[in-house]
A and B are shown apart, each in its own frame.
Chain A
Amino acid sequence: MSHNRPPLHPDPNPGVAHPAQILVVGSGGREHALARALAASPKVARVFVAPGNGGTDDGPDARIQNLAVDATDVPGLVLAAQENDVDLVLVGPEAPLSMGLCDALLAADIPVFGPRRVAAQLECSKAFAKQFMQRHGIPTAAAAVFDDLDEAKAWLAEHPGRVVVKASGLAAGKGVIMAEDSEQAAAALDRMMRDRIFGEAGETVLLEEWLEGEEVSVLAFCDGRTALPMPPAQDHKRAFEGDRGPNTGGMGAYAPAPCLDAEGLRRVHHEILLPVIRGMREEAYPYVGILYAGLMLTADGPRVLEFNCRFGDPETEALLALHDGDLYDVLDACVRGRLSTDDLRWKSGAAATVVLASAGYPGAYAKGQPISGIEDAEAEAGVTVDHAGTRRDADGRCLSAGGRVLAVTGYGDDLQDAIARAYRAADAIHFEGKHARRDIGARALGRTR
């Protein structure tokens, strides 16, 4: 391939010459893991995290430090990036993407790793994403889009049986209803379109074919013209063992997911990721950032369930444990539109992440519980502990401050080894009401045995 050829001449747009200052937007375990990976680069002088958490708050002169700006304060973030001479911004969560943070940063000539608002429609508008996939022949569940309740119900009457009801807009992960029959589907439509439980996000609704198979996520680095995938990952959304209980932000994850082999990943790359990036460029939405494809592995091949426009949490913690190389180099190549296959390498072995949550999560839970044992946990070989819902008190002690408190990641020779390390480390950490699922990766282990 011609892009493997060394350039004949020096890059006319060399990146930042001095050690870079980076701003990571967000406050979860994902942002801690990203900040840590970036701070490990010799080309990076400092990583700011806005607003960050107890783990990204190492003091005013530290390599990683917090900025007291909310992740959805777009003008505040632009100002903070300017005042702190930030060379690159990395956006963690989806809300600032949907608010146009990347557009505002680019308007101020600040390089940003993340899509513009129009490109983030892939996540923020399920209707846009579905119609885009239909235009470009990208394999996905058959679906119809409605903004009229009566028309949607008329469609249900003609298509009895199981159906998936999706709110088009962002609904904090709650906008997907798996309806066993038309009655359940009609009730979901009423709640979204008549009662407006998701507000504007439910004004437009998708009725979608119910797909059977195993779910897997493939995240890819994108530079506007091409996409390079990471190893496939799987996460655990439900609160309790056996995938029971309410949906959460994610209780654990592991990678590589054995259900998608190298040939499967190649298909996902060529049938889904690359066509998406090409199509977005064709339609004037060049896509820079992470493209997260949530997939169903059906008997007919991989099908797209949804796209996210960002790193997943906690998949990111597991994936970064597998990344071999300098994350800053990869992000820099992406924002300059020069990503090549040489930029991305992965370790052999596997990684697993266990989330330690507050009892009661995702419902009501207690905050402010002192946390101990993090150093003991990190003494375990191959283990990192990323902070999610934590803060420091005036004496520098670490307290719980959210539903998902910590993400404990183990890296090992294989998945079993990685999981064992993660749990040994997780067991060394203590706080009042600590809750973790004990079966992270169990399904994959059953498969590999």
Chain B
Amino acid sequence: MFELDRPHEECGVVGIWGDPAAEQDVARLCFFALYALQHRGQESAGIAASDGLGMTMHKAMGLVAQVFDERAMQSLRGHMAIGHNRYSTSGSSHVLHAQPYRIETMWGPLAVGHNGNLTNTALLRRRLLERGVGLSGSSDSEVITQLLAAPPGLGESRGPDWVGRIRALMGAADGAYSVVVLTREGVFGVRDPLGMRPLCLGVIDRDDGAGDGEGGPRGYVLASESCALGTVGARYVREIEPGEIVHLGPHGVRSIRGAEPARSALCVFEYVYFSRPDSLLEDQSVHHVRQRLGAQLATEAPADADVVIGVPDSAVPAAIGYARALGLPYSEGLTKNRYIGRTFIEPTDGLRRARVRLKYNALRANLQGRRVVLIDDSIVRGNTAGPLVRLLREDGGAAEVHVRVSSPPVRHPCFMGVDMATHDELIAHREDVEGIRRAIGADSLGYLSYDGMMQVVASAPAGENPLRGHCGACFDGRYPLPLPERERSVAAEGAPS
């Protein structure tokens, strides 16, 4: 409830294969990688580890630091591990849905961690139930796990065919999935053919990298975001391509085409808000993209003002870009209590109404009597922007507050794994820009245009991939894949008549 007006990210995944000869505590590496991905999910966390025979797992509700203690870490043994941070988008909030999922298969234990959301879960669930496979919960991630437990169509005469099983999954599943899979045969990483959720690969080099002339790297790391790589001493190599399967094992990294690549549709909200600014997406720095979004916003919606401030932390890069482009000073105008989202103590009703004050304070010295531009990265429901504007005026003493948003108005819900809102909750679905301005009490309001945003995001280096594209369905309502009946009717309900 303390997460204010933001769409919610839906999980972070990690997969690590370590050279057994290097005797690394791979589960501990996995823990720190999850720690770096905490922003992607705060509801539950888990790690499964394997030595190539057995598999151990620990998962629970809570933040990474709350879920694991030394005893839990000691129990996670082996040179391979996968990990997961969860924010529920499908399946309710319950430890039953904490990941990884682990089951026994013909070929020993299997564990799966999933980031994303399938759009045909209902169909896949029915197929599994018809085959007599029991399901314990409502999560699409469990469906993925059970699909991987089934041998591929042609059978497996010569040992486990994990690639065949993963390909079968990719053939059956629609929607967004970046998946890590732990087996006796190694760690697999999979990205859906549209590449809607990020997944990248890093390598842990030998200590000095020089001298003996022997041996490969100490290990390989898969992670939702590259910010987790540096944390565990891995070097960023590349993204997993849409439709690609990678197999990490003693042979190194094998890349397998799992599904034909389509025009990719990476969620543009990863750039706008979700990803950590020190991550790379499509080989470009998220921080720099946000700065450039701010600069583009300045050309589209300049403001006559004395100072530019950003909503911490995610809108700060855009505010800096905006200020630089207009030659205005950038300053801090709001401070944020970074720990407020981490309490389970419910505020009283009175406090709840002023909940924005629990999270932000105005820095009066920088605001008093000034005409202020407040940069935010997005407005979803619109229930935070209004209180922030009031805070800047009442507590900060700002003379004017001009709100600029470094993304377009959010008008459509997401069915690909982002907990955004229904149509009715989206302020830009109900109101035009002037209506929103009045609702939040700003002196003026300006949004970045859809084309302007896409132009900035698409300027990634090295145009080697002509199929690169982005999903901006929450802005323009054009979904990158066919929606099943129920979602289609929801989407249609919101369509402008």
A residues touching B (Cβ–Cβ < 8 Å)?
Answer: 1-5, 7-9, 12, 74-75, 98-101, 103-104, 106-107, 116-118, 124, 135, 225-226, 279, 281-284, 286, 337-338
Contact = CB atoms under 8 A, between A and B. Distances in A.
B456 interface: yes
B245 to A, nearest CB: 11
Nearest to A226: B464
A284 B203 contact: yes
Nearest to B284: A12
A225 B238 CA distance: 10
B240 to A, nearest CB: 10
Contacts of B456: 8-9
B462 A8 contact: no
Nearest to A118: B216
A100 B255 CA distance: 25
Given A12-B285, A12-B288, A226 B462 contact: yes
B209 A117 contact: yes
Contacts of B295: 9
Nearest to B255: A282
B496 interface: no
Contacts of A279: 255
Interface in B172-198: none
Contacts of A2: 463, 466
Nearest to A336: B461
Given A8-B292, A8-B459, A337-B461, A281 B238 contact: yes
B367 to A, nearest CB: 30
Nearest to B288: A12
Interface in B191-214: 201, 203, 205-206, 208-211, 213
B279 to A, nearest CB: 14
Given A103-B209, A226-B464, A338-B462, 13 more contacts: A3-B461, A3-B462, A9-B292, A75-B210, A99-B211, A104-B210, A117-B210, A226-B462, A282-B238, A282-B246, A282-B255, A284-B217, A284-B253
Given A2-B463, A8-B459, A99-B211, A284 B220 contact: yes
Contacts of B211: 74, 99-100
A135 B257 CA distance: 13
B283 interface: yes
Contacts of A5: 463
Nearest to B254: A283
Nearest to B209: A103
A194 to B, nearest CB: 23
Contact of B213 (A12, A98, A104, A286): A98
Contacts of A135: 254
A100 B459 contact: no
24 contacts: A2-B463, A9-B292, A9-B459, A12-B284, A74-B211, A98-B213, A103-B206, A103-B209, A103-B210, A104-B210, A107-B205, A107-B209, A116-B209, A135-B254, A225-B462, A281-B237, A281-B238, A282-B246, A284-B201, A284-B220, A284-B237, A337-B283, A337-B461, A338-B461
A7 B459 contact: yes
A77 to B, nearest CB: 10
Interface string B209-233: 1110100110010000000000000
Nearest to B216: A118
Contacts of B254: 135, 283
B217 A8 contact: no
Nearest to A283: B253
B253 A282 contact: yes
B75 interface: no
B288 A286 contact: no
Contacts of A118: 216-217
Contacts of B253: 282-284
Nearest to A104: B210
B288 to A, nearest CB: 4
A228 to B, nearest CB: 12
Interface in B433-476: 455-456, 459, 461-464, 466
Contacts of A337: 283, 461-462
Nearest to A124: B213
A103 B217 CA distance: 11
B52 interface: no
A104 B208 contact: yes
A124 B253 CA distance: 19
A282 B254 CA distance: 7
Interface string B32-70: 000000000000000000000000000000000000000
Nearest to A3: B463
A346 to B, nearest CB: 22
A98 B215 CA distance: 12
A2 B460 CA distance: 10
A1 B292 contact: no
Contacts of B201: 284
Contacts of A103: 205-206, 208-210
B302 interface: no
A15 to B, nearest CB: 14
A170 to B, nearest CB: 10
Nearest to B468: A2
The 10 closest A-B pairs by CB, nearest first: A103-B209, A2-B463, A100-B210, A3-B463, A282-B255, A12-B288, A104-B210, A284-B253, A8-B459, A284-B237
Given A2-B466, A283-B255, A107 B208 contact: yes
B386 interface: no
A179 B211 CA distance: 34
Nearest to B201: A284
Contacts of A286: 237-238
Contacts of B292: 8-9
A371 B295 CA distance: 62
B252 interface: yes
A414 B456 CA distance: 47
Contacts of B252: 283-284
Nearest to B240: A282
Contacts of A7: 459
Nearest to A131: B251
B292 to A, nearest CB: 5
Contacts of A12: 284-285, 288
Interface string B263-304: 000000000000000000001110010001001000000000
B464 A101 contact: no
